[in-house]
Amino acid sequence: MIRVKADELRQMYLAFFASKGHAVISGSSLIPENDPTVLFTTAGMHPLVPYLLGEPHPAGRRLCDCQKCIRTGDIDSVGDTSHLTFFEMLGNWSLGDYFKEEAIAWSYEFLTARAYLAFDPATLHVTVFAGDRDAPRDEESVAIWRRLGIPERRIFALPKDDNWWGPAGQTGPCGPDTEMFVDTGKAACGPACRPGCGCGKFFEIWNDVFMQYEKKADGSFARLGQRNVDTGMGVERTVAMLQGRATVYETELFAPVMDELAASAGRRLDASAADAAAARIVADHLRSAVFIVGDAHGVTPGNLGRGYVLRRLIRRSVRFAKNLGLKEGFTTPIARRVIESYRHVYPELEANAARIVDELLKEEQRFEATLDRGLAELDKILGHMRARAQSTLPGRVAFRLFDTYGFPFEFTADICREQNIAVDRQGFDQAFEKHRAVSRQGADKSFKGGLADNSAATTRLHTATHLLHRALRIVLGEHVRQRGSNITPDRLRFDFSHPDRMTPAQIAEVEGLVNGQIARALPVAMETVSLEEAKRAGAVALFAVKYEEQVKVYRIGDFSAEVCGGPHVRNTRELGRFRIQKEESSGAGVRRIRAALEEAAGEGA
């Protein structure tokens, strides 16, 4: 094992797979484009779903990258030695090219070769899929590991819960995986101690997923026409292991932030378990918030969707900062430390530094204004409950704390959990929905989900956004740029830069332009060209988004040309009639259009 820093690990990993014929591609935005089913990019494979399903990737069939990810499913575990809400995932993919033999051999080589990570092969333990009624035991992976020198006693066959990578949603590509663990030398937790048991003896270092199945809507599994490999190695956890650190917070990725927190508190923060956990939560949550606000499609705190997740992270950090005795304004120096640590890897953070600092400070101050009063109110409520021997906080009370004091549900649930009090989530949701009847997306509900919807209806609406974008630029001016979109099978939502409310005449003109192109039955064609060629040809690309050297340009007749990944219809006559339902503000200098496609007159009879 060699001691490397995060910068060295990223470079070493990408260079290794480049030497194996992989194209090094840029990581994608944290905000998925045109995917209504998830709020954030949760894994390296997420931006590649269309290509895993068979669409050709401009860079080829072997890819590798380092992807920014956000996951909040384990947020209650943040504060321990390794759980994070933001992390970087190194990954390599085979899109219908190589499969298990090469993937496992290369994983083993990178982990154990002296020129790379140089882990002692004797410490390596692996797990494979044990098999069930849906798919057989992964004997192929077992045989490959044996040939590489891993003895039977260090190969563990485990069930789906451990060694099956399911689709992110209800349907989609999935399959068995093989996971690699390093024995840390700690004592076993018991006779049944094995990789994945959670005691800390075995440290997961890598995961190779073999996407050879597709889960159908009826729950059955069918063989995929294209077998893929999807692998993942977490930067933070791997660096901690390579450096011999007990926690990810002791690496150079967190050290500047942890030092800043200790300086602000005026004492060491590792003297007590409570202080250590609080400091880790603040460090993790604010690092995540910096990346969310600083993304090319940056989010601001709010009460729904991504804004809610961001608000929850910032407000949770404020709560634990108070436990540490940090002074108001603590988010600013922490944010600056994160930006300084990552600006050479993610230049968008430095470019958006002013916005990051401003949004975090505003949210901190907004919450500070009501936090003490809200905590006092909750403490009073819990006191009354204890006196009455009540064990569940009513949902309507949790919603009142949210509505009056800005306490996210999970914030209230955190505090109640510490006092062995449950919270009525169903009652909270009912009160929330009653209050927010105009929106059917509750904060956590929209965070559950999976793959992008590639249905015909969604594809039609995706194509319509291209027509809408071009029509807006014609009517309002070339300053118009897409600032985000969200598409379901029923409607599209399109955000764009424009300082003023659109007039009824402008809305009618845009709608007329789009329907005019639909009536022209324009062909939709795709070509793969270099990014420079696309720009010279006048194709529109999203501002501040990283693109590969080779990109796909979708042209809709002589009307529109955009750099995009799809999906699209073949001809505009497939779209039906376009109707703008609403035009409204989406933030300073950003407008939002909601629109739908309807059957054209005479269709469907």
Please tell me the predicted confidence (pLDDT) of residue 449: 27
Give the residue-averaged pLDDT of 372-395: 91
Place of tokens 């905000």: 31
Worst-scoring range by mean pLDDT, 81-95, 111-125, 437-451?
437-451
225 CB contacts (<8 Å, ≥6 apart)? 54
pLDDT in tens, 96-114: 999 999 999 999 999 999 9
- Six token digits for residue 515: 């329907």
Please tell me the predicted confidence (pLDDT) of residue 414: 87
At 439, the pLDDT band (50, 70, 90 cuts) reads very low
Residue 197 three-state SS: coil
Separation of CA 201 from chain center: 29
Place of tokens 């930006």: 339
Residue 333 three-state SS: helix
At 489, the pLDDT band (50, 70, 90 cuts) reads confident
Q: What is the mean pLDDT of the chain?
A: 88
CA distance 433 to 166: 31
pLDDT in tens, 567-604: 789 999 999 999 999 999 876 678 999 999 987 654 44
- Six token digits for residue 202: 């075995």
Give the residue-averaged pLDDT of 326-351: 95
Question: Would you say residue 451 has pLDDT above 70?
Answer: no
Please tell me the predicted confidence (pLDDT) of residue 36: 61
Give the residue-averaged pLDDT of 456-462: 86
Could you tell me if 498 and 480 are in contact, meaning their C-beta atoms sit under 8 angstroms apart? yes
Please tell me the predicted confidence (pLDDT) of residue 409: 87
56 CB contacts (<8 Å, ≥6 apart)? 528
Worst-scoring range by mean pLDDT, 78-87, 153-162, 166-175, 557-566?
166-175
pLDDT in tens, 547-564: 677 888 999 999 999 988
C-alpha R_g of the chain: 25
Q: Quick check: bond before 567 cis, omega within 30?
A: yes
pLDDT in tens, 260-278: 999 999 998 988 999 999 9
Residues 479-509 as b/e (b if ≥16 CB within 10 A, e otherwise) read: ebbbbbbbbeeebbbbbbebeeebeeebbeb
CA distance 362 to 364: 5
CATH number assigned to the domain covering 6-249: 3.30.930.10
Strands 164-165 and 550-556: unpaired
For helices 353-387 and 331-342, angle between their N-to-C axes, nearest 10 degrees: 130
CA distance 507 to 509: 5
- Six token digits for residue 175: 């399959």
CA distance 124 to 82: 20
Question: Would you say residue 34 has pLDDT above 80?
Answer: no
User: Cβ-count burial of 79 within 10 angstroms (0-12 exposed, 13-18 middle, 19+ buried)?
Assistant: buried
Q: Kindly report the CA angle at 493 between 554 and 457, in degrees rounded to 5?
A: 65
CA distance 406 to 398: 10
Q: Kindly report the CA angle at 405 between 404 and 407, in degrees rounded to 5?
A: 115
Could you tell me if 149 and 197 are in contact, meaning their C-beta atoms sit under 8 angstroms apart? no
CA distance 180 to 117: 14
Please tell me the predicted confidence (pLDDT) of residue 292: 96
pLDDT in tens, 11-23: 999 999 999 999 9
**Higher per-residue confidence, 447 vs 279:** 279
- Six token digits for residue 459: 């594809």
Please tell me the predicted confidence (pLDDT) of residue 371: 83
Please tell me the predicted confidence (pLDDT) of residue 529: 86
DSSP string over 260-323: HHHHHHTS-SSSSHHHHHHHHHHHHHHHHHHHHHHSTT-----SSHHHHHHHHHHHHHHHHHHH
CA distance 429 to 427: 5
Please tell me the predicted confidence (pLDDT) of residue 450: 28
Residue length of the chain: 605
Amino acid at residue number 317: S
Phi, psi of 489 (to 5 degrees): -65, -15
Could you tell me if 211 and 173 are in contact, meaning their C-beta atoms sit under 8 angstroms apart? yes
CA distance 53 to 601: 35
CA distance 3 to 421: 45
Question: Would you say residue 235 has pLDDT above 90?
Answer: yes
pTM of the model: 0.74
Greatest mean pLDDT among 140-144, 211-215, 535-539, 597-601 lies in 140-144
CA distance 55 to 552: 11
Level-2 CATH architecture, domain 456-598: 2-Layer Sandwich (3.30)
Could you tell me if 159 and 130 are in contact, meaning their C-beta atoms sit under 8 angstroms apart? yes
Please tell me the predicted confidence (pLDDT) of residue 351: 93
CA distance 84 to 87: 6
Question: Would you say residue 199 has pLDDT above 50?
Answer: yes
Could you tell me if 278 and 320 are in contact, meaning their C-beta atoms sit under 8 angstroms apart? yes
